Structure 1
Amino acid sequence: MIAVAAAAAFLATFNETFLNVALTPIMLDFGVDVSVVQWLATGYLLVAAVFVPVANVLYHRFPTRGLFVAAVALLVVGSVVGALAPSFGVLLTGRLLQAAGTGLLTPIGMNITLAVAPREKLGLAMGVMAAMTTLGPSLAIVVSGALLSAVPWTALLWVFGALSLLVLLTGAVLLRNVAELGRPVLDVLSFVLVAVGLVGLLYGISTAFSGSALTAGVAAVIGVLALVAFVVRQNRVEHPLLDLRPFRSTPFVLGVSMTMLGLFFVFAMNVVIPIFLQSVRGQDPLGASLALAPGILLTVVLGPIVGRLFDRHGGRLMIPAGFAIMAVFASLVGVAAGQDSVLLFAALYVPAVLATALVIGPSQTFALSSLDRESSPHGVTVVATSFQVAGCLGTSLAIGVFNALTTRGVEGGTELLDASVVGFRGAAGLVALVSVLGIVLALAAGRAARAARTLRAAEETTGQARTVVDLMKTDVYALSTEQNVLEALQMFTERGISGAPVLHTDGSLAGFLSDGDVMRYLSAEHPSSTTIYSFATGESADLEDALADLVSLPVVRLATPDVVTVDETASVADAVAVLSDKHLKKVPVVRGEHGEVVGIVSRSAVNRLAISSYLASREGLAAGDGTGATEREPQLV
C-alpha cells in the first residue's frame, strides 16, 4: 500500500512539470503567446492547491480504494482530453482536470502512508514519499526532453495517461480501506474562500514580474483577505473544511516551513536551469534535461537511506546540514553559469539537489510526528497544500527574477549572453538565500523540539494528570433521534463499530444504542431468528418481517436512556475507573451536565496510551540522549 501511495505521489508531482519543456511547440501549434501558455503550469498548480483541502473531507467520507481510483481516473481522463484537444482551451481544460486529481491524490497518498506505516519506521516511509515527490518534477523534465526529441508533444499526454491507468489498476487491486469513515460535511463557503485566497495570492505572485504590478497587488490583497476570512470561519463553523489545530504546534509550523523551502529549491532550479541551458548555452531539450539527471537519480536512492538515518538519529544535524549544502552549491552553480563548461555546471548541481533529500523528507516527518492521530490527517492536508504553494512560489519567483534581471541588463546595453548569466545568478542567489533561511528555521525547530521534550519530562516528573480531552476521539460516529434501527445497523457495519450515542438536534445526549440492544430486541420479537447471526447465514424464516420492523423502529425506542458519561474536564484516571467499574467498552465525553457530546473514550484508546507510554519510557532509557520520539513528540533531536 505504501508503494501504491508512493506511485501516486510520483504521478502527482511528475505531471506538474511534464509539459514545461513542451510549451514552445504548444505555442506554435495553437498560436498563443507565453502569457497564455504559462497557464498550463500556473493554472495546474493553482487548481491542485485548491482541491487539496477537499481531499481531507473526502478521505473520511468514502472508502480509500474507491476514492483513490476516482482521483487517478481524473488524471487519465484529463490526459485523453488534452491529447485530443482541438484548441488551447480544451487542452487547458484537460490540464485542469488533471490538476483536480493531483490535488486529491497527494494528501490521499500521504494519509495512506501515515495509516499503515509502523511508527518506528515512519521516517523511512516518509523518506520514500519525499524521494518520489522530489523525483517527480525533476524526472519529468528529463523524460519529456527525451520524448520530444522523437515524438510530438501530444505523445507526452498519452504516455502520462498510460502511467496513470497502470497506477489506477494497481490501486484497485492492492488498496484497502484504512480511513475511519464518517459523514464529514463539505462547507461550501469555506471551499470558496480558500479557492479565492489561494488563487488570488498565487496569481498575484506569479504575475508580479510579468504583468501589471497593480493587478498583481490587488489579486494578492484579495487572496490574503479571503484566507483571513477562511481562517476565521474555520474557528466558528461546526464542520470546518480544515481543522487548524495543527498550527497550534510550533514544531509542526516549523516543519512545514522547512519542507516548503526545500521544495522551493527543487521547483525553482528545475525550471530555471533548463531555460538557461537552452536559451543561453544552446543546449537542446534533451541535453538540458540530462544535466539534471545524475542528481535526480542519486536523490531517489538517498531518500530511503536518509529516512532510516532519521529514524535512528533524528534531524538535529541532518536538516541544517542539508540547507547549508544547498546554499553553498546553489551559489557555486551560479558562479559556474559564467563558465563555458556545461559539465562543471551539471556536476556542481548534483550535491545541491542531493541535499534536498536531507531536508524534505525529514522535515515532513518532523512536522507530522508532532501531531496526534486526530490531527494528523489535517496536518497532511496542510503539508500537501504546501507542495503546490511551494511549487508555484519557486517557479514564479525564480523565473521572475531571471527575466527581470536579464531584461534590465539588455535594456542597459549589456549583451544578451552576459545579461542572461546575471539573471541566472540572481535566481541562484534567491535560492541560496532561501536555503540560509532554512538553516535558521532548522535551528529554531531544534529548540522547539527540546522545549517539547523538557515540558513532557516536567509533566511526568510532577505527575500532572492528563484529561480525557487528550485521549478522546473527537470525530464521533453518532446517530440522530430521527434515524431508524436499520440505519443504525448499517452504520455499525460500515464503520466497524458496535455502538454509538444517540443525539438530539442540539447535540445533547439522548441515549446509547449498541448492537447488543438490537440483538436482544430481535430475539424477543422474532424468536425464529434466535440471534442476529442467523441473518448473516440467511437462515432466518422471518428475515423480511424483521427488516421491515427495524425500518419503522426509531433508534430511541431501543437506545439505553441512562447513559454513563464523563465530563471533558475529567482525568484519564477517572475515565479508566468508569470503564472498569461499569464494564463498558466506551463512554461518551460531554461538556457540562447534560451538555453536548464532544468526544468518546474507549478501552482501546486507554490500552494504546498505556502501551505507548511504557514503550516510550523504555526507548528513552535505551537512547539515553532523548533522540527517540513518541507519537506526539517531534523527532528533530
Structure 2
Amino acid sequence: MYEIMDQPNHQIKKGLLLFVLLLGSFLSVLNQTILNVALPDLMKQFEVSATTVQWLSTGFMLVNGILIPVTAFLMKRFTTRQLFISSMLLLLVGTFINAIAPSFAFLLIGRMIQAAGAGIIMPLLMMVVLVVFPVENRGTAMGTLGLVMIFAPAIGPTLAGFIIEHFSWRWLFIGMFPLVAIVIALAAKFLVNVSETSKPKLDINSIILSTAGFGALLYGFSIAGDKGWGSAWVLICLAVGVLFLLLFCWRQLTSKDPLLNLQVFSDRMFTMTTIVNVLVTMVMYADMILLPIYLQSSRGYTVLETGLLLLPGALINAFMSPVSGRLFDKFGVKPLAIIGLVFIIVASWEVTDLSETTSYSYLMIRTIILRIGMSFITMPITTAGLNALPKHLHSHGSAVSNTVRQVAGSIGIALVVTIMTSRTKSYAAELIHSGNVQSKSQLIIESSILGTSDAYIFTVVLVIIAFLVNLFMPKKSVSKQEKIIEEREHHTNSAVES
C-alpha cells in the first residue's frame, strides 16, 4: 500500500522546498560542466589524448544515463528527503576523491561517483515540480528551474578559468566540498517528502542490460576516432550495444513492473519532444567540448579567456529561461521551438568554416546566438513532453526524458570528438602530401581547425533534423486525464472556499 505524502500540496512551502533542491541541483550541474574548459590542460598534465580525456565528460554523463532509469524505481521506494540527501552524499565523496586524485584513473573514478549522485537529482527535481505545481504554472516553474540549471554552466567555465589560472584545477573540487556539505545540512533540516512511496521490486536484469547496452555503444563511438570506423573492435562494441539495448527495451515492454516504462512513447507529443530534445542536447554538449579545444589547442587562448568568451551567451541563456517559461504557458511549445531551432541552425553554421583568423568577438556573438536559441527550446520542450503524460507516468516520463538526454549528450560528445580526431588525421595526411605546411606545429594547428569545422557540420545536420521533426509536432501538450482531474480539484476547492 502507498504511504501518504508528508504534507498535502497546499501546505508545502514550495519556495523553501525548491530552494534547497535547486541548490543541490546547481552544484551537480556545475560539477558536470566545470571541467570542460580544463580538458586541454588535463591532457597535458596527465599526458592523455582528446579521446581519453573526453571520458571525464562522457563518463560522467554515461553514469547519469545508466542510473536515471533507476530513479523511477527509487522515487517510488524512497522519500524525497532520503533520495536527495543520498545523492548529495555521493556528490561529496566524489568531490573529495577528485580533489586528491593522484592520476587520471582516480580523477575518472571520482567523476563517476559524482555522476551517481547527480543522476538522481534532476529527475527528482522535475518530479517535485510536477507534483507541487498545477499544469498552468509549470512552464514558469520549469523556467525558474532552467534559470538555475543554466546559470551553473554559465559561470562554470569562467570560474574554472580563473581558478586554474591562479591556483590549480584541484581547487575546483576543494572549493566545492564545503558547499555540498552545506546543502546536505540544509536538506536534513528543511526538506520534506512530496510524493507517495511503495515497495516495488528492483529489476536487476534490466539494470545489467541497460548498463551493458549504453556502455558498449558509447565505448564504440569513443574509440572509433583512434581505431577507425572500420575496426572490428569498434563494430563489435556498437553491435553488442545495440543488441543489449534492444533486449532492454523488450524486457521493459513485457514486464509487469518495468524499470523504465516505455509506454510513455505511446504519446505522440512526448515521443516527438524527446527526439527534438535528444538532437538539441547532442548539439549543446558537442559545442561545450569542441569550442574550448579549438580556442585553447588551436588558437592559444587561456582557460580564463575561453570561460569569458562563453560567459555572456550562457548568462543570457540563464536569464531568458524564465521568460521562455512564461511564453510557453501562453503560446505553447511549437512556436518557441521553431524560433529556438532557427537560432541554433544559424549559430551552428557560423562555425563550420573556422580558421586561424576567426575573431574572438565573432565567436562570442555566435555563442550568444546559440544560447538564445537554446533558451527557447530546452525547458519548454521538456515541459511539453511531461505535460502530455498522465500523472501516474510522470516519474517514468521524467526518468526517460533525463536518461535519453544524458545518453544523447555523452554519445554526442563521443561522436564529435571522434569525427574531429579522424578528420584531423585525414587533413594532416593531405597537407603533408600537398607540401603546403612549413612546420609540424603549423600542420597540427591547421589540420585540427579543419577537423573541428567538419565536426560542426555534423551538428548542423542534427539541428536541421530536429527542425523537421518539430514541424510535425502536435500543438496541445497537456494530458486530457490530468486536465480533467485538475478541473475537478479546482471546482472542489472553489466550492469549499465559498
Relative to the length of structure 2, the TM-score reads 0.87
Structure 1 pair 126/411, CA: closer, same or farther in 2 (3 Å)? same
- In the other structure, the counterpart of 1:349 is 367
Structure 1 pair 99/146, CA: closer, same or farther in 2 (3 Å)? same
Does structure 1 residue 118 correspond to structure 2 residue 146?
A: no
Does structure 1 residue 240 correspond to structure 2 residue 258?
A: yes
- In the other structure, the counterpart of 2:469 is 441
Secondary structure of 1:182's counterpart equals coil
Secondary structure of 1:145's counterpart equals helix
Structure 1 pair 359/338, CA: closer, same or farther in 2 (3 Å)? farther
- In the other structure, the counterpart of 1:601 is none
The residue correspondences of 1:38-117 to structure 2 (distance < 5 A) are 38-117=54-133
- In the other structure, the counterpart of 2:9 is none
- In the other structure, the counterpart of 1:284 is 302
The residue correspondences of 1:189-268 to structure 2 (distance < 5 A) are 189-211=205-227, 213-268=231-286
| Per-residue deviation, 1:30 | 4.8
Separation in structure 1 between the aligned mates of residue 45 and residue 99 of structure 2, nearest angstrom: 13
Q: Which sections of structure 1, spanning at least 5 residues, go unmatched? A: 457-469, 472-604, 616-637
- In the other structure, the counterpart of 1:374 is 392
Separation in structure 2 between the aligned mates of residue 25 and residue 274 of structure 1, nearest angstrom: 11
Secondary structure of 1:288's counterpart equals helix
Secondary structure of 2:225's counterpart equals coil
Question: Residues 466-524 of structure 1: CA distance to partner in whole angstroms, max 9, x if unpaired?
Answer: xxxx79xxxxxxxxxxxxxxxxxxxxxxxxxxxxxxxxxxxxxxxxxxxxxxxxxxxxx
Separation in structure 2 between the aligned mates of residue 12 and residue 49 of structure 1, nearest angstrom: 14
> Could you tell me which amino acid in structure 2 is paired with residue 449 of structure 1?
K
- In the other structure, the counterpart of 1:153 is 169
| Per-residue deviation, 1:355 | 0.7
Q: Could you tell me whether the CA contact under 8 Å between 1:258 and 1:360 is conserved in 2?
A: no
Q: Which sections of structure 2, spanning at least 5 residues, go unmatched? A: 1-16, 438-442, 494-498
- Kindly indicate whether structure 1 or structure 2 has the higher relative contact order, using CA contacts under 8 Å at least 6 residues apart: 2
> Could you tell me which amino acid in structure 1 is paired with residue 264 of structure 2?
P
Between Structure 1 and Structure 2, the one with more helix by share is 2
Separation in structure 1 between the aligned mates of residue 40 and residue 370 of structure 2, nearest angstrom: 28
Q: Could you tell me whether the CA contact under 8 Å between 2:25 and 2:122 is conserved in 1?
A: yes
| Per-residue deviation, 1:263 | 1.8
Structure 1 pair 328/35, CA: closer, same or farther in 2 (3 Å)? closer
Q: Could you tell me whether the CA contact under 8 Å between 1:200 and 1:223 is conserved in 2?
A: yes
- In the other structure, the counterpart of 1:13 is 29
Structure 1 pair 29/407, CA: closer, same or farther in 2 (3 Å)? closer
Separation in structure 2 between the aligned mates of residue 348 and residue 211 of structure 1, nearest angstrom: 33
Q: Could you tell me whether the CA contact under 8 Å between 2:294 and 2:452 is conserved in 1?
A: yes
- In the other structure, the counterpart of 1:633 is none
The residue correspondences of 1:553-564 to structure 2 (distance < 5 A) are none
Structure 1 pair 214/159, CA: closer, same or farther in 2 (3 Å)? farther
Secondary structure of 1:295's counterpart equals helix
Relative to the length of structure 1, the TM-score reads 0.68
| Per-residue deviation, 1:20 | 3.0
Moved more, 137-146 or 334-343: 334-343
- In the other structure, the counterpart of 1:610 is 488
RMSD: 2.6
> Could you tell me which amino acid in structure 2 is paired with residue 348 of structure 1?
R
Moved more, 312-321 or 246-255: 312-321
| Per-residue deviation, 1:51 | 0.7
Match of 1:298 among 316, 334, 338: 316
Does structure 1 residue 383 correspond to structure 2 residue 383?
A: no
Match of 2:198 among 178, 182, 196: 182
- In the other structure, the counterpart of 1:536 is none
Separation in structure 1 between the aligned mates of residue 49 and residue 349 of structure 2, nearest angstrom: 32
- In the other structure, the counterpart of 1:524 is none
| Per-residue deviation, 1:392 | 0.8
- In the other structure, the counterpart of 2:325 is 307
Structure 1 pair 36/347, CA: closer, same or farther in 2 (3 Å)? closer
Separation in structure 1 between the aligned mates of residue 210 and residue 233 of structure 2, nearest angstrom: 20
Q: Could you tell me whether the CA contact under 8 Å between 2:37 and 2:306 is conserved in 1?
A: no
Structure 1 pair 247/613, CA: closer, same or farther in 2 (3 Å)? farther
- In the other structure, the counterpart of 1:550 is none
